[in-house]
Every structure is written in structure tokens, then in C-alpha cells.
């Protein structure tokens, strides 16, 4: 058991667990075939695409703004809208003298500026080889500039609460690009492949996993395990688009399993800045076993190229060979491919490839992160029975999509009273407990003397290391008949970490299915279990109090437990849907996918009939909670107090 209590060590341990268990037991072919649809549904959900892919898609409309004639092929400058205002720009390379239909390649751009120009080599070469080739730009660095770097650069950690990743938008745009290719009479609908490097390589993995119409895949410099990203810190270099919202705690091998047994060529560089070659080999070896099981060992190949994060003639030529073999049924030699690869290509100037002279006035690319995932609306609840039914459904959804990393089997709390102190009026207890394997936390409980047992208790979620020793001014004046417990959750006091690691911790936590807030909620739930194990505590009169980001912990702890008598909120955030700071500082209140289902004011309302107490002003968003309390009436109540000394629990009878 780890008692160094190092957050990075913990995240590494959980990352290793994800990587080690992924595809660990590859023995039953029928399982992989039988579970494919459900596994694909899970991945679609983690991309935020469930709504979009559950609806019928209309035929795609595209527009050509210019044509460039080349020897043996032409380039059409095209755009389409994958959703109203979500413009996708690209270049379509069409071989001349087409008889019948040709196989097609969808080329997905990486993180280079002037993408159609930067990656045009691949369009020219594939067209020369007889492939219809569509190069589509990303929302980040295409002609209309959107955002991939939400958490990476801007502190938009609310993306995690929305369940939003720009990977979802890029996959959606690529799926619509496949829709477009399939509408062309000169494209063989059954022979479409996909490839790209870096971000385009990651999207090649993702699109092929989601869309079975992709028959051949060749991701380049885009392969790595969750373990390597966290333990070797390659995550620090990665854009937000490189990852799904990992509430199901998948590794890339799980994504690759959705591609099997279709032809998959993994091309990687041995000294890549952002991908560890050892993790590439691990992924390949695991997937190779699955391909063997499915009877298609020849359909997976790893190509290792020398150097860093870039194409190399080894990877380029093997990719061309791979697509020719699996989409044209021709097995060309590398020497023949090399002759084609070495032919010089005259670049088309940047401006000549541009699709738009002027950005459309109705574009919604730059704001896609604000509308692609729609937060859930508050529920309509008219009675206690409706409330009870809704709460149960919501809890199940949150355990599945938000708190899935909670341990399935709670560890022994190992409650230990380390120190007992006494004064004229109170008895103090310094208590340690283990909420989760690897963590030892502390609380300080102050119990009044001379009070008839059992004793009600206020659980105060510490907001600084001083609280456990010196208390907190917010709780000064609490009715002396109440005991008070100052609880340190992860990241507070003895287990705190420096703010300069906070950016990494918040990003890495998502990759292991957690957030700082979700870990703290689990700690608080277990802390109350530890408190209730004390014989003198009145288990029917446990209250919880939190300030700022700890108000979020208090709200969800009370909601998930369902046995908290009162919840006291000081400066609660108005919503989960607010940004943080670029360096990762600021309130760490994100919870994976939570806004797809609920928000803070709704959780506050759903606490009825627990007493809801606002200490000082509260945001206007909590009007909804108060209105629900008024609608449902007693025994639930809402109180506003300026000081905790002004609060008395409704109808309390304390000896």
C-alpha cells in the first residue's frame, strides 16, 4: 500500500492498471464478435457522438469553389457542412479517365498550419496511384480556425464536464466526409481507406473504430498507451483532440479492437517526441493476438521508421503498398513503390488550394465547443415520488458515466484514532482512514463534552492544511451541541501537491477515468463512513459543509449517499460549465460527462428532503433548487444565513 501519497504515483498506478488489463484475456473469439456493438456504443459515447450517430443523416451537400488541372488527375477545392455552420474544407484529388469506380482514401490532417498545402504530397501520390483522395482539414488549423487546445492552452476543463473532446467533432466531420465519398459514382463504396499523421493518425484510429465502412487503416505517429502518456509524461505534449473522455477507462488497444480484423498498418517513429516506441510495440503485440484469434494475422502490421515525429520513406512506401494491396488487390513490391515515391511532385501554391475567398458569415466552427454537446435541461418534477424515481435513474447514469472509477469493492477503511485530546469543553480526536488503496487521509473531530449521546456532527471539508488543526472561521459559532469533523480529502493538507503540477494532474486524471473532484467526492463518502463507525455519532444527524470547490464535493457526497441531514454551501459555483485557468489553477470542479445529465443547481434541488443551507450569497442559478424545494414542501427546507451561528436544524431535538 502506498503511503507516500504522491498524486503522480497514484495516477501512474491507475494508468498501468488500464494498460495492463486492456485486452489481457484474448481467448474467446465469440466474445469479441458478440460484444462488438456494445463496445462500439461505449466508444461513441466517450467521443460525445451518441446523439449524432443515433439519428438518420441527410445526404451531404458539397460545393466546389475551383478546379486545378494536373497531369493525370484534377484537384477540386470543396467544402461541406457536417452540421449547419460546421464547415469542413478540403481538396478532392480525382484521377482522370475513370472507368467504373475507384477505391478512395480519406486523408486526415495533423496539427500543421496551412493543412491542405502541407499535406498535399499524399493527395498527389494517391491520385497517381489511382485512388480518389479527399484531404480534409481540422477545425483547429483549417481555413476557419476553431479550437483543439481547450485544456491544453486555455484552462477549459469544463470540456470534461460536458463530455466534450474535439476528437468527437473531428470524427464526426470524417464520418460525413465518408458519406460524401460514398455519394460519388466514381468511388467504390466498399473500398474506402483512411490515413493521416499525428492528430490525423489519431483520428484514423478513432474513425475506423466507429465507422465500419472504413476498410483499411494506416495511422502514422499516433500510437501510445495510457500508461506511457502519464508515466512518461508524453501527455504534456498532446492536444485535447488526441483523447476520448475516458470514463470507461480504455486504452488504445480497446479502440484498435473495434477495427479488427480489418487491415491495420501502424506506422511509428522510433524516436518520436510524443509517442514512446515501446508502448507502440505493446499495442501492436496485443492487437496481433486478437487478429490471430479472429483468423486475420496478415491484416495487421507494424512499421518502425527511424527518426522523430514525421513521415519517412519507409513509412510512406509501406502505406502506399498497404492501400494498393488491400483496396486494389495488387501486391506491388517496395521497389516498384519506391519508383513512384521518388517521382518529384510540383507543389501547388498555398493560395491556389484555398477554398474560401471569404469566411462564411454563418460559420460555427470557432464556437463548436459551446454547442456540440448540449447540457441537460433541469427535470420536471412535481412530487416526492417523481423525485425519488428521477434521483435513482440519475445516480445510475452518474455511476456509469461520471464515477465509474469508484472502486467496485471498497477497501478496509482502517480507521485509526491516533490521538485523543481534551479541554474543559471538548474532546478532540485525530483520526486516520484509508478511503482507497494507496491513500491515507486524516480528519480532526471535536466532540462537545457533557452532551447526551448520540451526538450530531457537521462534516467540514477542509480547504487548507490549517483547518485540521485550527478549524475554519466559517464554522465558528456552530451550535456547541454539534460535533465537528474537519476532513482532508485528496490534495488538501498532507496529500496536497504543488500548483505547478495541477495542469498535469487534471489532464491525466481524465485519462484514468477520474477528476480531482470525483476523487474528493469518493474520499468524502468514505470519510462519513469512518465517522459513522464511531459509537457516539448520531448517524441520523450528519451534516456536510463545503466552500467554493468543496461545495461541489459536499453536494455530490450528499446526493450519492442519500443519508445526509443537512448540506451547508458557501460560495458554491454557479455551474460546472465554467472555465478554469490556463495553468490548471482555479476551481477543480469538473466531473466527467456530468453536464450531459445534470448540473450543480439541479443536484442541490435533488437533495430534498435534506435541509439545504446557503451560507452567505448564492448564485442565481440555484433558484431552480429553491423552487423545487418550495414545490415539494416539508420536510425539506431551504435556509439562508449570514453566519453558521444563525443556523438551527429544522425540528431538531438535541439533548
CA–CA separation, 77 and 269 (whole Å): 32
- What b/e readout covers 244-281, taking b as 16+ CB neighbours within 10 angstroms? bbbbbbbbbbbbbbbbbbbbbbbbbbbebebbbbebbb
pLDDT at 4: 46
pLDDT at 97: 87
pLDDT at 407: 96
pLDDT at 655: 37
Same structural domain, 500 and 576: yes
**Cβ atoms within 10 Å, residue 378:** 16
Identify whether 351 is part of a domain: no
Query: Following DSSP, what letter does each residue of 582-632 receive, concatenated?
Result: TTS-S-----TTGGGT--HHHHHHHTTTSEEEEES---GGGHHHHHHHHHH
In this predicted model, what pLDDT tens digit does every residue of 352-396 receive, in sequence order?
Answer: 999 999 999 999 999 999 999 999 999 999 999 999 999 999 999
Same structural domain, 53 and 196: yes
Identify whether 464 is part of a domain: yes
Percentage of the chain modeled with pLDDT above 90:
92
Same structural domain, 296 and 234: yes
Cell representation of residue 161: 464536464
Question: Number of folded domains in the chain?
Answer: 2
Identify whether 331 is part of a domain: yes
In this predicted model, what pLDDT tens digit does every residue of 115-128 receive, in sequence order?
Answer: 999 999 999 999 99
Same structural domain, 333 and 414: no
Identify whether 45 is part of a domain: yes
- What b/e readout covers 614-653, taking b as 16+ CB neighbours within 10 angstroms? bbeebeebbebbbebbeebeeebbbbeeeebeebebeeee
What's the rounded mean pLDDT across residues 307-333?
Answer: 94
CA–CA separation, 262 and 217 (whole Å): 8
Identify whether 167 is part of a domain: yes
User: Residues 596, 400: contact at Cβ < 8 Å?
Assistant: no
What's the rounded mean pLDDT across residues 464-492?
Answer: 95
In this predicted model, what pLDDT tens digit does every residue of 142-191 receive, in sequence order?
Answer: 999 999 999 999 999 999 999 999 999 999 999 999 999 999 999 999 99
pLDDT confidence tier of residue 253, bands split at 50, 70 and 90: very high
Secondary structure of residue 540 in the 3-state scheme: strand
Query: Following DSSP, what letter does each residue of 26-75 receive, concatenated?
Result: ---HHHHHHTHHHHHHHHHHHTT-HHHHHSPPPPP-EEEEEEEEETTEEE
Same structural domain, 332 and 408: no
Q: What mean pLDDT is reported for the chain? A: 95
User: Residues 166, 137: contact at Cβ < 8 Å?
Assistant: no
Could you tell me how far CA 315 lies from the centroid of its own chain?
Answer: 31
In this predicted model, what pLDDT tens digit does every residue of 404-432 receive, in sequence order?
Answer: 999 999 999 999 999 999 998 999 999 99
Q: Is the pLDDT of residue 653 over 50?
A: no
What's the rounded mean pLDDT across residues 624-630?
Answer: 98
Identify whether 63 is part of a domain: no
Q: Is the pLDDT of residue 539 over 60?
A: yes
Same structural domain, 390 and 312: no
Same structural domain, 482 and 555: yes
What sign for the dihedral angle of Cα 470, 471, 473, 478?
A: negative
Same structural domain, 316 and 400: no
pLDDT at 188: 97
Same structural domain, 315 and 402: no
pLDDT at 2: 39
DSSP-derived secondary structure letter, 650: T
Q: Which of 339, 357, 375 corresponds to the end of one domain?
A: 339
pLDDT at 462: 98
Q: Which of 302, 319, 339 corresponds to the end of one domain?
A: 339
Is pTM, for the whole model, over 0.85? yes
CB within 8 Å of 527: residues ≥ 6 apart: 433, 435, 441, 443, 459, 485, 487, 489
Q: Is the pLDDT of residue 565 over 60?
A: yes
Domain that holds residue 451: 384-646
Q: Ramachandran region of residue 476, left (φ > 0), alpha (ψ -120 to 50) or beta?
A: beta
Q: Is the pLDDT of residue 88 over 60?
A: yes
pLDDT confidence tier of residue 450, bands split at 50, 70 and 90: confident
Same structural domain, 162 and 215: yes
Same structural domain, 324 and 438: no
pLDDT at 652: 54
Q: Is the pLDDT of residue 492 over 80?
A: yes
Terminus-to-terminus CA distance in the chain, angstroms?
42
CB within 8 Å of 344: residues ≥ 6 apart: none
Q: Which of 306, 339, 372 corresponds to the end of one domain?
A: 339
Cell representation of residue 89: 474544407
CA–CA separation, 379 and 325 (whole Å): 54
CATH number of the structural domain spanning residue 465: 3.40.50.1820
Same structural domain, 331 and 422: no
pLDDT at 65: 97
In this predicted model, what pLDDT tens digit does every residue of 128-145 receive, in sequence order?
Answer: 999 999 999 999 999 999
Q: Is the pLDDT of residue 651 over 60?
A: yes
Cell representation of residue 257: 479492437
Amino acid at each position: 500500500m502506498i503511503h507516500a501519497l504522491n498524486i503522480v504515483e497514484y495516477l501512474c498506478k491507475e494508468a498501468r492498471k488500464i494498460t495492463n488489463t486492456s485486452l489481457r484475456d484474448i481467448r474467446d473469439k465469440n466474445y469479441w464478435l458478440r460484444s462488438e456493438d456494445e463496445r462500439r456504443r461505449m466508444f461513441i459515447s466517450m467521443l460525445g457522438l451518441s446523439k449524432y450517430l443515433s439519428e438518420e443523416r441527410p445526404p451531404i451537400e458539397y460545393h466546389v469553389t475551383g478546379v486545378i488541372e494536373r497531369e493525370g488527375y484534377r484537384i477540386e477545392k470543396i467544402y461541406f457542412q457536417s452540421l449547419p455552420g460546421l464547415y469542413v474544407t478540403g481538396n478532392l484529388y480525382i484521377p482522370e479517365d475513370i472507368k467504373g469506380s475507384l477505391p478512395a482514401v480519406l486523408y486526415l490532417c495533423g496539427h500543421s498550419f496551412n493543412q491542405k498545402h502541407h499535406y498535399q504530397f499524399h493527395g498527389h501520390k494517391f491520385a497517381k496511384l489511382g485512388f480518389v483522395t479527399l484531404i480534409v482539414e481540422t477545425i483547429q488549423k483549417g481555413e476557419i480556425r476553431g479550437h483543439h487546445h481547450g485544456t491544453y492552452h486555455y484552462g477549459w476543463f469544463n470540456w470534461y464536464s460536458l463530455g466534450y473532446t474535439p476528437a468527437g467533432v473531428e470524427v464526426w466531420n470524417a464520418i460525413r466526409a465518408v458519406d460524401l465519398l460514398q455519394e460519388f459514382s466514381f468511388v467504390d463504396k466498399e473500398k474506402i481507406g483512411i490515413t493521416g499523421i499525428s492528430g490525423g493518425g489519431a483520428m484514423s484510429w478513432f474513425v475506423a473504430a466507429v465507422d465500419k465502412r472504413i476498410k483499411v487503416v494506416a495511422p502514422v505517429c499516433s500510437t501510445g498507451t495510457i500508461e506511457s502518456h502519464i508515466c512518461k509524461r508524453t501527455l504534456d505534449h498532446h492536444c485535447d483532440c488526441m483523447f476520448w473522455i475516458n470514463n470507461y477507462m480504455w486504452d488504445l488497444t480497446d479502440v484498435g479492437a473495434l477495427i479488427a480484423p480489418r487491415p491495420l498498418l501502424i506506422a511509428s517513429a522510433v524516436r518520436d517526441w510524443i509517442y514512446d516506441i515501446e508502448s507502440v510495440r505493446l499495442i501492436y503485440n496485443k492487437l496481433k493476438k486478437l487478429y490471430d484469434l479472429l483468423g486475420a494475422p496478415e491484416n495487421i502490421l507494424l512499421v518502425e521508421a527511424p527518426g522523430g515525429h514525421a513521415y519517412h520513406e519507409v513509412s510512406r512506401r509501406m502505406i502506399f503498398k498497404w492501400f494498393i494491396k488491400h483496396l486494389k488487390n495488387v501486391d506491388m513490391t517496395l521497389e516498384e513503390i519506391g519508383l513512384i515515391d521518388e517521382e518529384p511532385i510540383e507543389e501547388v501554391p498555398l493560395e491556389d488550394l484555398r477554398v474560401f475567398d471569404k469566411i462564411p458569415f454563418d460559420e460555427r466552427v470557432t464556437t463548436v465547443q459551446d454547442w456540440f454537446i448540449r447540457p441537460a435541461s433541469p427535470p420536471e418534477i412535481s412530487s416526492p415520488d417523481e423525485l425519488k424515481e428521477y434521483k435513482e435513474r440519475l445516480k445510475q447514469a452518474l455511476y456509469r458515466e461520471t464515477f465509474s472509477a469508484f472502486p467496485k469493492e471498497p477497501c478496509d477503511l482502517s480507521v485509526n484514532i491516533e490521538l485523543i485530546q481534551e479541554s474543559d469543553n471538548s474532546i478532540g480526536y485525530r483520526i486516520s482512514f484509508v478511503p482507497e488503496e494507496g491513500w491515507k487521509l486524516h480528519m480532526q473531530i471535536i466532540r462537545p463534552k457533557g452532551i447526551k449521546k448520540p451526538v450530531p456532527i457537521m462534516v467540514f471539508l477542509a480547504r487548507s492544511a490549517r483547518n485540521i488543526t485550527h478549524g475554519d472561521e466559517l464554522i465558528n459559532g456552530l451550535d456547541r451541541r454539534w460535533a465537528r469533523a474537519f476532513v482532508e480529502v485528496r490534495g488538501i493538507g498532507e496529500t496536497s501537491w504543488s500548483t505547478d503540477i495541477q495542469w498535469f494532474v487534471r489532464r491525466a486524471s481524465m485519462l484514468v477515468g477520474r477528476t480531482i473532484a470525483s476523487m474528493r467526492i469518493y474520499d468524502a463518502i468514505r470519510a462519513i463512513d469512518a465517522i459513522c463507525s464511531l459509537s457516539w455519532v448520531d448517524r441520523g444527524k450528519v451534516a456536510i459543509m463545503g466552500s467554493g470547490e468543496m461545495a461541489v464535493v459536499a453536494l455530490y457526497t450528499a446526493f450519492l449517499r442519500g443519508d445526509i441531514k443537512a448540506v451547508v454551501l458557501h460560495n458554491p459555483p454557479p455551474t460546472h460549465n465554467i472555465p478554469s485557468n490556463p495553468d490548471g489553477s482555479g476551481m477543480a470542479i469538473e466531473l466527467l460527462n456530468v453536464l450531459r445529465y445534470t448540473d450543480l443547481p439541479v443536484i442541490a434541488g435533488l437533495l430534498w428532503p435534506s435541509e439545504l443551507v446557503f451560507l452567505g450569497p448564492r448564485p442565481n442559478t440555484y433558484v431552480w433548487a429553491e423552487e423545487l424545494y418550495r414545490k415539494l414542501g416539508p420536510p425539506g427546507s431551504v435556509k439562508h444565513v449570514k453566519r453558521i451561528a444563525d443556523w438551527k436544524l429544522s425540528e431538531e431535538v438535541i439533548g
